Structure 1
Amino acid sequence: MNYELIGMLLCLGGIVGVMSGLLGIGGGLIVVPALVFLLPSFGIPDELVMQIALATSLASIIITSGSSALNHLKLGNVDMYVIKWLMPGVVIGGLFGAYIAEWIPSQYLPKVFAGIVMALAVQMFLSIKSTMVRSMPNALATIFYGSGIGMVSSLAGIGGGSLSVPFLSRHGVEMRKAVGSSSVCGCVIAISGMIGFIFHGVKVDALPQYSVGYVYLPALIAIASTSMLTTKVGAKLASTLPTSVLKKVFAIFLLFVSVTMMFQ
């Protein structure tokens, strides 16, 4: 691991922190594609790159989303009803998603990731002009939706903001509170998903040194050390930018990530 790679991972963490605070994402939509590109430089075999990228992304999200959530709590950008009923579902779904990822052939995982993100981008673009707002579903239905969000998020190595923010926005939660609440839930999704990847990874013999299951510690430490410092910048931006602007930024970001991963 040379200084150039360390520098790239530190810069990556800084960008992830800003985007996490701004959009309520844990950063996985940035971290996963970046690690897929960078991990072969560490001498990691191609057949393990995607699993390690997903697991390390989830581990970094615990720190990034946790820092972002604290900033949003201080700014009053968290809906406690959402936290109370969405969180149990995302924990169950996060564990299940890590289990599914273990059974999908590694060469298909980037395409699965790209397809999920493309669908999210389209949904967010459509929601920009949509005036239809629904109320939040009841507690049991919210837990059910949370399970789906947790499963897909863990499968894609993301914190769930790209799923939960559009879901909450569509159901009448103000965009800033959707972003803040997503940060809290994203931290929980990441914990459950990371546990699943560690559990499945400990049985693999060819993992690189300094790995805990599929989590690659050098990359995790570098990314987390800067991302936790820059979430405050993104959280302040989220509190000042108009909702329509936030949605446009979110949708364009998702589209870019999807196209990038489709050609991996």
Structure 2
Amino acid sequence: MPDIEWILLYLVLGALVGFMAGLLGLGGGGILVPLLTSIFTYQGISVDNAIHLALGTSLACMIISSTASIYAHASRGAVVWQMAGGMAPGIILGAFLSTQIAVNVNSAYIAIFFTLFMAFVAGQMFFNWQPKPSSKPATLSGLIAAGTGIGSVSVLAAVGGGFLAVAYLGYKNVNIKSAIGTSAAIGLFIAITGTVGYMISGLLVTSSNPYTIGFINVPAFLIIALASTIAASYGVRCSHGLPKACLRKIFAVIALILSIKMLIFWF
């Protein structure tokens, strides 16, 4: 087992991510990836493998958070299963292919991509930007194409796809509550496929690292997932008494700062 200080650090990190997820209804990839990258590097894992391990472990953690989120939204009838199912083939294809490509891409490029993507996400959250709705109805081919793009991008930044999915569903005239609920279902597809993909692509690369299965750090996954699940309920309670617009801006700034920190750390 890892040393007690790392276990405690995983607990704190999981509690932070879970609380923020419950508070704002957002995944924690923007927080997890840069911090886990630093943690794994300090543990002696090579810099080249640290970011892939952080991405894979973050996606594994999202399986738990996405499942809980789907249950909450589905119980309120806020998941448009037809659109989620239509996007699923593209999401699975895009997510799996991206994980296989990522292992052969220089980690510095992934760090740059992550920082730029999170800067876009932070701007979208800070200014609450949404595309204007389209008058054209969603088609199966369009859903598959959108799913492929969302799945491909999401596994390279370890986000559940919520930012992109909510924007796309809003563009297709899905109301915001149903868009958020449907994005949770989409996030589960991304998390499962991305986790499996990073496990497979990293089996030979991390075979000498203890407590890993491919690019998944098992102790980090288990501890963070447990802590985040417990802390999420407290975040949900607090969300009802605090202004979400202000909190979204705070989250956006934190995510951007951590992303830039990872970029500086890399170079």
TM-score under structure 2 normalisation?
A: 0.85
- Give the match for residue 160 of structure 2: 159
- Give the match for residue 189 of structure 1: 190
- Give the match for residue 29 of structure 1: 30
- Check whether the contact 2:53–2:215 (CA below 8 A) recurs between aligned residues: yes
Which moves more between the two structures, 102-111 or 53-62? 102-111
Which moves more between the two structures, 93-102 or 113-122? 113-122
Question: CA 1:206/1:219 → structure 2, altered by over 3 Å: closer, same or farther?
Answer: same
Shift of 1:156: 1.7
1:50-69 alignment runs, 5 A limit = 50-69=51-70
Letter in 2 for 1:182: S
* Percentage identity across paired residues of the two chains: 35
Which moves more between the two structures, 182-191 or 205-214? 205-214
Distance 1:134 1:158 in 2: 25
| Residue 224 (structure 1) aligned with residue 225 (structure 2) | yes
1:98-177 alignment runs, 5 A limit = 98-125=99-126, 127-128=128-129, 132-134=132-134, 137-177=138-178
Local SS of the residue matching 1:76: coil
Question: CA 1:154/1:144 → structure 2, altered by over 3 Å: closer, same or farther?
Answer: same
Shift of 1:141: 0.4
> Is there any run of 5+ residues in structure 2 with no aligned partner, and where?
none
Distance 2:230 2:72 in 1: 11
Distance 1:22 1:89 in 2: 30
- Check whether the contact 1:97–1:153 (CA below 8 A) recurs between aligned residues: no
Shift of 1:232: 3.8
Question: CA 1:10/1:158 → structure 2, altered by over 3 Å: closer, same or farther?
Answer: same
Deviation string for 1:93-115 (max 9, x for gaps)?
11011012112112222111111
- Check whether the contact 1:134–1:171 (CA below 8 A) recurs between aligned residues: yes
Distance 1:260 1:169 in 2: 32
Letter in 2 for 1:91: I
Local SS of the residue matching 2:103: helix
Letter in 1 for 2:40: L
- Check whether the contact 1:24–1:161 (CA below 8 A) recurs between aligned residues: no
Deviation string for 1:171-191 (max 9, x for gaps)?
433333322222221111011
- Give the match for residue 44 of structure 2: 43
Question: CA 1:257/1:186 → structure 2, altered by over 3 Å: closer, same or farther?
Answer: farther
Distance 1:237 1:76 in 2: 23
Which moves more between the two structures, 220-229 or 168-177? 168-177
Distance 1:186 1:81 in 2: 15
Letter in 1 for 2:58: S
Local SS of the residue matching 1:263: helix
Letter in 2 for 1:52: L
Letter in 2 for 1:187: L
- Give the match for residue 74 of structure 2: 73
Question: CA 1:13/1:151 → structure 2, altered by over 3 Å: closer, same or farther?
Answer: same
Question: CA 1:45/1:254 → structure 2, altered by over 3 Å: closer, same or farther?
Answer: closer
Shift of 1:249: 5.8
Question: CA 1:195/1:80 → structure 2, altered by over 3 Å: closer, same or farther?
Answer: same
Which moves more between the two structures, 31-40 or 12-21? 12-21
> Is there any run of 5+ residues in structure 1 with no aligned partner, and where?
none
Question: CA 1:207/1:118 → structure 2, altered by over 3 Å: closer, same or farther?
Answer: farther
Cα root mean square deviation, aligned:
2.7
Distance 1:84 1:199 in 2: 25
User: For this pair of structures, how many residues does the alignment match?
Assistant: 263
- Check whether the contact 1:55–1:157 (CA below 8 A) recurs between aligned residues: yes
